[in-house]
Amino acid sequence: MGEWLLSLPLTWMAVLVFAVIYLIAAAVYFGVIGLAVDARRASGFKAFSPAMLAPLGIIFGLLVGFVAVQVWNDFDRAKSAVTSEAGALRVVVLLAESLPEEQKAELRTLVDRHIEEAVQQEWGAMAAQRLTIASLPSHLVEALHIVLALRPADETQRTVQLELVNDLHSALDARHQRIVISQSSVSLVKWATILVQGLCTLIAIATVHSDNRLACAIALALFATGIAALVLLICAYSQPFTGEISIGPDILKRVMTGQP
């Protein structure tokens, strides 16, 4: 699905999705009704069993559910990764209070710079799916080097050093996870499968009701509305860091300001 569509405000995305689906449903309606004018074709359409609608609808629902599970799992994983990164960085800042003033100031500065870079550069790159794991978080790497270079004076500082290393590793891993998830999307094959199955169901509905134009129009409008709503739902959540419904860096910003 085009990046331009997923980047639209939700209102305009809904308008576009519903308009396209309704146009397809209208084309199906006029196409089937136009063909049904001929008596021979009309009798053939009437011979089409209404029982076919149930399996077609079930298959469409299963396909949508299959894609929706991937989309919502990716969204939840992305939210969890950002939360984990913020949590690990907050602990780093708190533990740094136990270090000598120089190291404490260096660690706090590096954490702030990492968050600034994430907010100002990485989030936009993730939204465009341009950020890869090849780009290293230089500020976190430098912070890890500083912690590893510490010479603990007692057991307390040794414990703090170990915890700082673990939390920096956790922050690095969480950043890695959010970048990997930002590359995830619903493939064209999955979109094509859903839309083709939806089209087949629309045609089947129109065929079954081809002898009654009002019933045909109502049935098509109802099913088209359902298709459009499901497509909109998947589009809105398909890329966790893109669009109006997306995961922002607010929780990371709160680490900088010291907010809970």
Mean pLDDT of the chain: 89
So what's the pLDDT on residue 134? 86
- Average of per-residue pLDDT across 229-246: 90
∠143-147-150 over CA atoms, to 5°?
145
Read off the pLDDT of residues 202-229 as tens digits, 9 standing for 90 and up. 999 998 888 888 999 999 999 999 999 9
Whether residue 260 is predicted with pLDDT greater than 60 in this model: the reply is no
The total number of structural domains in the chain stands at 1
| Domain, as residue range, for 49 | 3-257
So what's the pLDDT on residue 154? 80
Whether residue 181 is predicted with pLDDT greater than 90 in this model: the reply is yes
Q: In terms of residues, how long is the chain?
A: 260
pTM higher than the cut 0.95: no
Burial of 163 (0-12, 13-18, 19+ CB in 10 A): middle
Read off the pLDDT of residues 48-82 as tens digits, 9 standing for 90 and up. 778 888 898 899 999 999 999 999 999 999 999 99
Read off the pLDDT of residues 160-179 as tens digits, 9 standing for 90 and up. 889 999 999 999 999 999 99
Tokens (6 digits) for 102: 């120089």
Read off the pLDDT of residues 94-147 as tens digits, 9 standing for 90 and up. 998 888 888 889 999 999 999 999 999 999 999 888 988 888 899 999 999 999
Whether residue 1 is predicted with pLDDT greater than 90 in this model: the reply is no
Q: Which of the two residues, 184 and 38, has the higher pLDDT score?
A: 184
Report the alpha-carbon distance of residue 221 to residue 145 in Å, rounded: 62
Determine if residue 242 is left, alpha or beta; phi over 0 gives left, psi from -120 to 50 gives alpha, anything else beta: beta
